Amino acid sequence: MTISRETIINIVLALLLLAIPYAAIQFGNPFYVTLATRMAILGLAAVGLNIALGFGGLVSFGHAAFFGIGGYVAGILASHSLSGAPLNFGVFSVPGTNQMPVIWLVALVAGGLLAAAIGAISLRTSGVYFIMITLAFAQMTYYFAISWPAYGGEDGLSILVRNQFPGVNTMVPLNYFLVCYGVLMVGLLVSALIRDSRFGAALQAARQNEVRVASVGITPFRIRLVAFVISGMITALAGALYADLNRFVSPSMLSWHMSGEFIVLIILGGVGRLYGPVAGAMLFVMFEFLLGGMTERWQFFLGLILLGVVLFARGGLIGLIAGKPRHG
């Protein structure tokens, strides 16, 4: 079997991301470790979105909702763990926790449930309707977070001590990077498996031709709903990691700028490509950092760069280097 050009690029990207924090420490610039962690986490969020958007053609403009709910899961569980007060759900109550594996599990479930609810309504529509409805539902969670003061409302919620991972001191930046990098790799593995599986075949075929998929007896709605749920779960997991990175969660994680940013990551990297979200996140965080260092007006130039990419380089970074995608 020959190794495709895209596979080589993927390996290089994975190694490059892993090398950044070590190089940073080597050159005495530990701040870059945090940048690399941001790349890994935003990459993971976009890996989630890519399953819906890239493989399934479902242009969700509301993935911030999942990212945010993951973040709030981490923040809320941590705050209850710290105060010792249990979380009340009316009939039953559960204690908080500062253990990342538990938090991740809860984030996955919460993200999945929210995605199932939003998807069940939004997927009845398509095209522009779908874009606007996912945006509107995410906005709904945003306003809810702002108007619900129990967990900080507009001001957000701090995580005083970063949550713990068994056997790892997560307060050491490099350790936390490795945790996030590990989760990203698992996310990419899941994404690759899905892409090549029967489910992935049906999902990608439904993007190309919905009628064809129905005429062989597969109901596109169900396939899409499951894809949307998986997609939301992965993005929620990324949200939990992001909250722990910043040790802070606020409604801004739910804002539509966040949703837009995820789409930007995917386009920058290459739509529907396995490592597109990672390439996009690396590029984006780098742009943000470099432009931000040069000018206060970096968003202006970021906008111009994005316009250039959309108008003139539609395949994204991986498309530029590896050419068109191949379907076996």
Partner 1 sequence: MAETILELRNLCKSFGALKATDDVSLDLRVGEIHALIGPNGAGKSTLIHQIAGTLTPDTGTIEFLGRPISQLGVAERARLGLGRSFQVSSLASEFSALRNVMLAVQSRQGSSFRFFKPVMRDRSLVEPAMAALARVGLKDRADIPAAELSHGERRQLEIAIALALGSRAFLLDEPMAGMGPEGSRQFTGFLDALRQEAPILLVEHDMDAVFALADRISVLVYGRIIASGTVEEIRHNPEVRRAYLGDPQ
Partner 2 sequence: MQIALFIEQILNGLQLGVMLFLMAAGLTLIFGVMGLINLAHGSLYMVGAFACAAVAAATGSFWLGLAASLAAAAAAGAIMEVLVIRRLYDRDHLDQVLATFALILVFSEATRWLFGSFPLYLDIPPLLQGTVPLPGGSRYQLYRLAIIGVGIAVAVGMYLLITKTRLGMRIRAGQSDRDMIGALGVDIRLLYTVVFAFGAALAGFAGALVGALQSVQVGMGEPVLILAFVVIVIGGIGSIKGALVGAILVGVTDTLGRFLLPQLFGLMMPPSQAGLVGGALASMLIYIVMAVILAVRPQGLFPAMKG
With CA atoms as reference, report the closest residue to 40 among 176, 161, 189: 176
Residue 198 binds which of partner 2, partner 1, none (CB < 5-8 A, kind-dependent): partner 1
What is the C-alpha to C-alpha distance for residues 315 and 328, in angstroms, rounded to an integer? 19
Residue 306 binds which of partner 2, partner 1, none (CB < 5-8 A, kind-dependent): partner 2
Token pair, residue 134, equals: 């996912």
For the bound state, the minimum distance from the C-beta of residue 215 to partner 1, rounded and expressed in Å, comes to 5
What is the C-alpha to C-alpha distance for residues 300 and 310, in angstroms, rounded to an integer? 16
What is the C-alpha to C-alpha distance for residues 281 and 260, in angstroms, rounded to an integer? 13
In the bound state with partner 1, the residue whose beta carbon lies nearer, of 212 and 297, is 212
Single out the residue of 264, 283, 318, 322 in contact with partner 2 (rule: CB under 8 A).
264
What is the C-alpha to C-alpha distance for residues 322 and 20, in angstroms, rounded to an integer? 23
In the bound state with partner 2, the residue whose beta carbon lies nearer, of 87 and 136, is 136
For the bound state, the minimum distance from the C-beta of residue 322 to partner 2, rounded and expressed in Å, comes to 20
Residue 157 burial (CB < 10 Å; 0-12/13-18/19+)?
buried
Which residue has tokens 């957000």?
156
What is the C-alpha to C-alpha distance for residues 151 and 143, in angstroms, rounded to an integer? 13
What is the C-alpha to C-alpha distance for residues 257 and 302, in angstroms, rounded to an integer? 13
For the bound state, the minimum distance from the C-beta of residue 137 to partner 1, rounded and expressed in Å, comes to 25
Residue 310 binds which of partner 2, partner 1, none (CB < 5-8 A, kind-dependent): partner 2
How open is the CA angle 57-49-16, to the nearest 5 degrees?
Answer: 120
What number of chain residues touch partner 1 (CB under 8 A)?
27
Residue 88: φ, ψ to 5°: -95, 125
Residue 191 binds which of partner 2, partner 1, none (CB < 5-8 A, kind-dependent): none
Q: Tell me if 127 contacts partner 2 by CB under 8 A.
A: yes
Touching partner 1, residues 163-202 (CB under 8 A): 193-194, 196-202
What is the C-alpha to C-alpha distance for residues 61 and 228, in angstroms, rounded to an integer? 12
Q: Tell me if 323 contacts partner 1 by CB under 8 A.
A: no
In the bound state with partner 2, the residue whose beta carbon lies nearer, of 82 and 306, is 306
Site string for partner 1, 206-245 (x = CB under 8 A): --xx-xxxxxxxxxx--x--x-------------------
What is the C-alpha to C-alpha distance for residues 66 and 63, in angstroms, rounded to an integer? 5
Single out the residue of 306, 313, 321, 325 in contact with partner 2 (rule: CB under 8 A).
306
For the bound state, the minimum distance from the C-beta of residue 185 to partner 2, rounded and expressed in Å, comes to 27
Q: Tell me if 209 contacts partner 2 by CB under 8 A.
A: no
What is the C-alpha to C-alpha distance for residues 295 and 300, in angstroms, rounded to an integer? 10
8 Å CB contact between 300 and 62: no
- Which helix H or strand E contains 8, and what residues bound it? helix 5-26
In the bound state with partner 1, the residue whose beta carbon lies nearer, of 93 and 219, is 219
8 Å CB contact between 22 and 163: no
With CA atoms as reference, report the closest residue to 60 among 150, 128, 9: 128
Single out the residue of 4, 94, 143, 214 in contact with partner 2 (rule: CB under 8 A).
143
Contacting positions for partner 2 (CB under 8 A): 53, 59, 61, 121, 124-133, 135-137, 139-140, 143-144, 146-149, 256, 260, 263-264, 267, 271, 297, 299-300, 302-304, 306-307, 310-311, 314
Positions that interact with partner 1 (CB under 8 A): 193-194, 196-202, 204-205, 208-209, 211-220, 223, 226, 327-328
